[in-house]
Chains A and B, each alone.
Chain A
Amino acid sequence: MKTNRPGWPAIAAQLARRGSAVPRTGARDFWEAFEARRHLYPQHPSPAHAHARRAPWFWAFGSLGATSLLAACTWFLFLQPAPVQAHSAIHSYEIDPEHGTVMILQDETIHAAILWVANLDLTEAATEPESQE
């Protein structure tokens, strides 16, 4: 592809007309100096060396494994659904009046759950007559 840019002879002639110093360094010396100084400045990688910058397989698989482990831990610790209660059960209770022992019984035959409150004091709550009794 032809360009309109001037070559080195034209540039050298123009510099000579202006009275500027024209470098007299030979091509060989120039390239030797260039090679010597090249390492002082960051260079763009050549396409042949581009593959060397890819992440190694070790890091790829390592990060994948770490991510999977993190996801599994998150699932088991935070996102796992609550286990389904197979049988009847008492989970919690609050008893307001004075009372004695509280027992939770689980019948193994038909899996009934019994919450039994001993010595429950209902004198304060007994404001209405027990019409059913």
Chain B
Amino acid sequence: MSATHLRSPARLLVLTLIVLLANGRLSADTLRIRMIRAVQEASEGVAPALHDVLPVLRSTLAFKSYLLDADATLPLPANGELARVGIYQVLCEGAADRLTVQILRGSKRILRTVATVRRDQPVILGGFPARSGGTRMFILTVEADTPTP
């Protein structure tokens, strides 16, 4: 048996590992947290960053306008990272299949939930009163992470 034959399985194994790692890297997900404010007053235009979730907002909730106030992203699976979203802190833990999300304001915890977040299927946590009027909500979406070179 020649050396080439001996090395072939090893080369195949290394190639497979590289492909798997590259695939895993390419398919890494990011959790996007958008803090928006829903108001009853009509406003002109919609923030481009809300176009993907606007259909579900309009079909489910009875507000006239939606304003984007803050935006943050976290790599998934989350390992207890704290994202500052406006005056709130969002603590995330786990993978998108079973993501634990805590919303805190200052040192006070307001909400803790366990949710499954799928791509193109947002999870909306809403009902938070906003001082400036309207209702605040958090939109959690999973987006494909762009591969790093």
Query: Which residues of A does B touch, CB under 8 Å?
Result: 84-97, 99, 105, 107, 109-118, 120, 122, 124-133
Contact = CB atoms under 8 A, between A and B. Distances in A.
B56 A107 contact: yes
Nearest to B56: A112
Contacts of A89: 115-116
Contact of B117 (A88, A122, A124, A129): A88
A102 to B, nearest CB: 8
Nearest to A91: B114
Interface of B: 35, 37, 53, 55-56, 59-61, 69-70, 86-87, 97-98, 105-106, 108-118, 120-132
A96 B108 contact: yes
A90 B116 CA distance: 6
The 5 closest A-B pairs by CB, nearest first: A117-B127, A133-B132, A88-B121, A132-B86, A125-B108
B56 A109 contact: yes
6 contacts: A89-B116, A113-B121, A115-B111, A115-B123, A120-B128, A130-B132
Contacts of B106: 125, 127-128
A46 to B, nearest CB: 57
A122 B111 CA distance: 11
Contacts of B116: 85, 87-89, 91, 113
A89 B122 CA distance: 9
B126 A115 contact: yes
Contacts of A124: 108
B103 to A, nearest CB: 10
A124 to B, nearest CB: 7
B111 A114 contact: no
A109 B130 CA distance: 29
A116 to B, nearest CB: 5
Contacts of B127: 99, 116-118, 120
B60 A115 contact: no
B111 A95 contact: yes
B69 A132 contact: yes
